[in-house]
Amino acid sequence: MTWLRAIAAAGLSVLMPGAGHALIRDWLRALVFAGLYFSAILFFFPTEQIAAAGSMDEAMNVLTAETDTISQFALSFIVLFAAIDATFRAAGFPPTGNNSGDGPSCPQCGKELDEDLEFCHWCTTRLEPIKPEDADEPAQDREETARP
């Protein structure tokens, strides 16, 4: 199911940078990519001329005539980078989580686990219960080897 989520995040990021990150609930990155995209549009596109155009056809003619290759490359780079980043984050690479080492972490998403639950409350991955090792086993082995 993660690959489907990754494809959906990539597709949404191509349509609107930041939308793929919103799908995977990475709100800060969604705001950063959307803000970066809209800032680049305001900076690179002739917005005054586009707004003054009488029809959509005139606006597209102004857009294609007045936008240089560098501007188109910059916007395409932002879109491509947002799509790649959303895809990798939705697929779980790199694993996001806290690296504080305070407790056990989920093998799927890498976030800290609640020891009382049998599943990760972040990504709902079912966890196998940890079987406690018998503390007496090593002591019994030592006693058996010590006896003649």
pLDDT tens string 72-122: 999 999 999 999 999 999 988 765 544 555 677 788 777 888 888 888 888
The values of phi and psi at residue 27, to 5°, are: -65, -40
Q: If you ran DSSP here, which 8-state letter would residue 114 be given?
A: P
Q: Worst-scoring range by mean pLDDT, 64-73, 78-87, 125-134? A: 125-134
Sequence-distant (6+) residues with CB within 8 A of 107 are 125, 127
CA separation for the pair 49, 45 (Å, rounded): 9
CA separation for the pair 34, 21 (Å, rounded): 10
Per-residue pLDDT, averaged over 29-42, amounts to: 95
Per-residue pLDDT, averaged over 51-68, amounts to: 89
Per-residue pLDDT, averaged over 34-41, amounts to: 95
Indicate whether 1 pLDDT > 80. no
Sequence-distant (6+) residues with CB within 8 A of 90 are 2, 5, 6, 8, 9, 10, 20, 23, 24
User: What SS3 string covers 48-70?
Assistant: HHHHHCCCHHHHHHHHHHHCCHH
